[in-house]
Amino acid sequence: MKVILRKALPDDYEQIAFVHYKAWLETYTGLLPESFLKNRTLESSINIFKNNLCSNTVVAIVEGKIIGFCGWGPLRNNSFEENFGEIHGIYLLDSYKKHKIGRKMLEFALEKLSTKNYPKVSLWVLSSNENAIHFYKKLGFSDTGIVKEENLGEIITESFFYKGNLKKHIPGYVFYFNDRQEKNTVKLRCLMLNSYNYLTASF
């Protein structure tokens, strides 16, 4: 499988939005309230990426089609008084998982964040998403023990992970590749998701 990674362009918004919408359903069915997932629409995803011009996003392309993306930037709603970068989200269609595409997209994003001189990069991940947590730990992220609660019709919990010494650990990204092959806890109650309206989870 030949995979191309590149920075997203504003005109990519429809394809990115489709991945965003479909991956929510594929990844979070059984992990998030069914009523919340039923209310998600492709149109709402289109509006998100059309309005933000797909900035600070890498896309993964197979046979001319976008099949995954990863967004990054400064930590949103930063109350930690530290200079954190953030992985805003990773999404990959189910049929393309298990080919290290998620890993390559994350490495791409970490490389971009390293050029902004962030000493640490963070992300929020659904606390019940064991697959995602295993993925991030394998790539050097650590659980801080900080959690926040989101009201999605039911209360769900997200965990705060971070990765330090960013420049030391990044192996570098590639644009083309072929597949062969009780803690101290802070609870923040929120009434809605952040402006990107996605959890960091799917790979």
Q: Are 18 and 85 in contact (CB under 8 A)?
A: no
**Which positions ≥6 away from 98 have C-beta within 8 Å?**
none
Supply the pLDDT for residue 108: 96
**Which positions ≥6 away from 16 have C-beta within 8 Å?**
8, 49, 54, 57, 59, 66, 69
Unique residue bearing structure tokens 């993964």: 60
Supply the pLDDT for residue 166: 59
Whole-angstrom distance between the N-terminal and C-terminal Cα of the chain? 17
- DSSP codes joined into one string, 18-37: HHHHHHHHHHHBTTB-HHHH
Q: Residue 140: exposed, middle, or buried by beta-carbon count in 10 A (0-12, 13-18, 19+)? A: middle
Supply the pLDDT for residue 77: 81
Residues of the chain with pLDDT under 70: 165-203
pLDDT in tens, 111-124: 999 998 888 999 99
pLDDT in tens, 133-157: 999 999 999 999 999 999 999 999 9
**For residue 107, which of 39, 53, 177 has the smallest C-alpha distance?**
177
Q: How far apart are CA 90 and CA 170, in angstroms?
A: 17
Supply the pLDDT for residue 143: 96
Rounded (10°) angle between helices 13-28 and 42-51:
130
